[in-house]
Chains A and B, each alone.
Chain A
């Protein structure tokens, strides 16, 4: 897509090293000089933010692991020990627990950006599907991490979520017993969740490498959805996007710091400060906020197996998104009807999240059913039909043309000083 930069070490030592391990040349080609569309807006900075969040979670998590004890009789106390006794333990734990929420805020923005700008369309289907796998592994990791403090919500969240698998015919019950390592969520369960919670972030890191690899084959998409056509359309990743991503990261960290320092428990549940009690379920159990839309789908359907199928289906449907959206136009910016349905879909997702946090009674259940139906309708009916029926607006012939047209309009609107 643009000329390849060649790394030529200036020193003899540099040349000696590069001949043996060409990693500096790789960094120069794929990071510093990487040709990036020049019109990326701030919605494109969340990939970098997510990478930073993964690093923060790994560093804070390994630190917590040095003070935590994965045993039912000691887990809860060891978390209190981290909060009260360990130097800066409170800070590291609040960074880790709120970091999980920040991670999900960023991933949802990243996903909705991909949906709005059609980033999943050819030739980026595999890139998108790796992203969905990353999201699934993130959910598994977050879920197992929430079990480790062994509070009431930890325990009952674990029990309900693992019990989802008991809905499967025939293999359901033995599968759940196998997952638990017993007849209920107990010490074997906590122990293995701890091992997997430690493992999966590194799996995520590997998947992120694949995600970036798949990104660097076709290159970034961009807000116009028009492919890069010449070197006029791109700028080097460094310094242009290292600085843009860096600035966005700082702003995002302000939000993160607000939660860590001023509302560290706002996104959690007070009931998790009660130690786990296998004999009493709290009156109102809900998962963490980032799972709520799927929880609403699960509870909306009055049938155990179908509820579980719908819940998993709502996520696995994302794998098929590149083929469900039949429109040839990539970016939603040039699709006037799609744009409205996109925002309606975003509101439906937030609405499902709200309903997931409410008790499963009366009007809430009915509303959850309507929104669940709409969620599936969006993917299975609206997106395939829109591509065929909608008349898109004319797409600019190149990235440069769209940027120049925007600037000339701005100049025309502002009288010269």
Chain B
């Protein structure tokens, strides 16, 4: 068998392309473990829940606990703070989404949706500014809530962004009350 017409695809062309394609697939597949090893490992993912006793946290007090390497703010709010948070309409907020993992994604950022269910005095949220990840300072800023010293974001008493470069309300992690005053985060 002699192939004289070079414009026709030959068995050799086919084998050449098929080999090249397999080599490309193999190269991509062998890169993946080296990419994925950068993702959180099993020991990081294992630290997924933490329990907190809220009974020593009196009204007007706040605690910061560490969960998955990040601070979580738990604030026992005063009636005045709750009142302040409820006095603003959702459509006036820069970020109208509740950012609450315990609720559907489209929940509006009302104070009720931000605070703990049936316990509106408790506000539980990540202490991580949604701008660039600094820890905001409590009881400060123009809205009596939190103020991020890094780039000047102001959050209100429901942890919602009101002014500054942060695009989103402070995120609310998944949590539940396992007893009347015991909170489980994660």
Cα(A182)–Cα(B44), bound, Å: 6
Segment among A46-54, A300-308, A331-339, A344-352 that sits at the interface with chain B: A300-308
Whether B71 and A163, one on each chain, are in contact in the complex, defined by CB atoms closer than 8 angstroms, is no
Whether B132 and A279, one on each chain, are in contact in the complex, defined by CB atoms closer than 8 angstroms, is no
Cα(A184)–Cα(B135), bound, Å: 12
Whether A160 and B134, one on each chain, are in contact in the complex, defined by CB atoms closer than 8 angstroms, is yes
Whether B44 and A183, one on each chain, are in contact in the complex, defined by CB atoms closer than 8 angstroms, is yes
When distances are taken between beta carbons in the complex, the residues of chain B under 8 Å from A299 are 151, 165
B9 on the interface (CB 8 Å rule)?
no
When distances are taken between beta carbons in the complex, the residues of chain A under 8 Å from B166 are 304
Interface size on A, residues (CB 8 A): 37
Residues 134-153 of B at the A interface (beta carbon under 8 Å): 134-135, 148-152
Nearest Cβ on chain B to A168's Cβ, whole angstroms: 12
Segment among A84-92, A98-106, A280-288, A398-406 that sits at the interface with chain B: A280-288
Whether A186 and B69, one on each chain, are in contact in the complex, defined by CB atoms closer than 8 angstroms, is yes
When distances are taken between beta carbons in the complex, the residues of chain B under 8 Å from A279 are 64, 66, 71, 127, 135
Whether A181 and B39, one on each chain, are in contact in the complex, defined by CB atoms closer than 8 angstroms, is yes
Whether A285 and B134, one on each chain, are in contact in the complex, defined by CB atoms closer than 8 angstroms, is yes
A192 on the interface (CB 8 Å rule)?
yes
Whether B132 and A159, one on each chain, are in contact in the complex, defined by CB atoms closer than 8 angstroms, is yes
When distances are taken between beta carbons in the complex, the residues of chain B under 8 Å from A359 are 152
When distances are taken between beta carbons in the complex, the residues of chain A under 8 Å from B39 are 177-178, 181
Nearest Cβ on chain B to A292's Cβ, whole angstroms: 14
When distances are taken between beta carbons in the complex, the residues of chain B under 8 Å from A305 are 167
How many chain B residues sit at the interface, stated as a range, is 20 to 34
**10 contacting pairs across A/B (C-beta < 8 A):** A160-B150, A163-B132, A180-B40, A181-B41, A182-B44, A279-B66, A301-B165, A302-B164, A302-B165, A303-B167
Nearest Cβ on chain A to B108's Cβ, whole angstroms: 22
When distances are taken between beta carbons in the complex, the residues of chain B under 8 Å from A186 are 44, 69
- Among B39, B40, B148, B150, the most chain A Cβ lie within 10 Å of the Cβ of B150
Cα(A181)–Cα(B64), bound, Å: 23
B133 on the interface (CB 8 Å rule)?
yes
Cα(A208)–Cα(B40), bound, Å: 35
- Among B64, B128, B135, the most chain A Cβ lie within 10 Å of the Cβ of B135
Cα(A302)–Cα(B154), bound, Å: 13
Q: Mark B114-130, 1 if CB is under 8 A from A, else 0.
A: 00000000000001100
Residues 262-291 of A at the B interface (beta carbon under 8 Å): 278-285
When distances are taken between beta carbons in the complex, the residues of chain B under 8 Å from A301 are 165
When distances are taken between beta carbons in the complex, the residues of chain A under 8 Å from B3 are none
Q: Mark B95-122, 1 if CB is under 8 A from A, else 0.
A: 0000000000000000000000000000
